[in-house]
Chain A
Amino acid sequence: MFSIRHLSPWNPWEELERFHAEFERGAQSLGSALQGPSIDVWSEGDDLRLRALLPGVRPEDLEVTVEGDQLTLRGTIESAGAPSEGRWIRRERMGGSFQRTLQLPFAIEADAVKARLVHGVLELELPRAAAEKPRKIQVQATT
């Protein structure tokens, strides 16, 4: 079967243009995959709080690990399910697995971390490790 493209006169630039368009598209999707989910971290008192927007991530598909001052979020974003018998009209979402490791300003008490993921919003309470909390040093008066 002949497609329209085969019937049109040969354009030497067409292949190059198509390659360029595909490269751009690939670079864009790679960019969003590298960027990963949107994450905010802030301090609250002695501790840290984190909010990540993870639409399409089920609680069972998310892993949060803390090691000292490093926090890693690893998960799988539910993709739309590529239509095998349909056709895409618009594809803007990122699907598949992601991993983000953040360097935090201090070590975290891993056992005391509280995490909840509700309707695609992750909230973490990250208490500062006791050993890292500022300690008051008693100044001894010299006689």
Chain B
Amino acid sequence: MNAIETRNGNARRVTPACDVWETKDGVHVVAEMPGVEAGAVEVTVERDLLSIRGRAELPRPSARAQGLTATVPVEYLRQFQLADTADADAIQASAKDGLVRVLVPRKVPAQRRIPVAVG
């Protein structure tokens, strides 16, 4: 795991490692968020900024010896800039085995049928 860590009060703030790739369906993101269950994932889009957040309580090493709580709260956050072609309303997300998967579908170009007048 190749994550970057900082602190936010009591919580550890982690920038998770991600794989990102593009197919004809859109852009796929896989983020490493160990300890995060599906209900603790939040995916938001603000203007062109995609934010993938996850919260977890990880077991804290040596908690008892230090007189600390058994778990430590962790906040994962990774942000990406979306292209104009991204369909922000159709984003799908799922979480399993500590991986959060997000699909940002490509916008289907709107097709308009232009009636041709006869005469």
Contacts and interface: CB of A to CB of B under 8 A. Distances in A.
A136 B21 CA distance: 61
Nearest to A39: B61
Given A55-B98, A56-B32, A119 B1 contact: no
Contacts, number: 108
B64 A44 contact: yes
A45 to B, nearest CB: 8
Interface in B25-77: 27-28, 30, 32-37, 56, 58-59, 61-62, 64-65
Q: Which of B2, B27, B33, B97 has the largest number of chain A CB atoms within 10 A?
A: B97
Say which size band chain B's interface belongs to. Answer: 20 to 34
Interface residues of A, number: 35
A120 B23 contact: no
Closest 9 CB pairs of A and B: A120-B98, A55-B98, A86-B23, A120-B34, A55-B32, A80-B19, A40-B61, A92-B17, A42-B62
Interface of A: 32, 37-38, 40-44, 49, 51, 53-58, 78-80, 83, 85-94, 118-121, 123
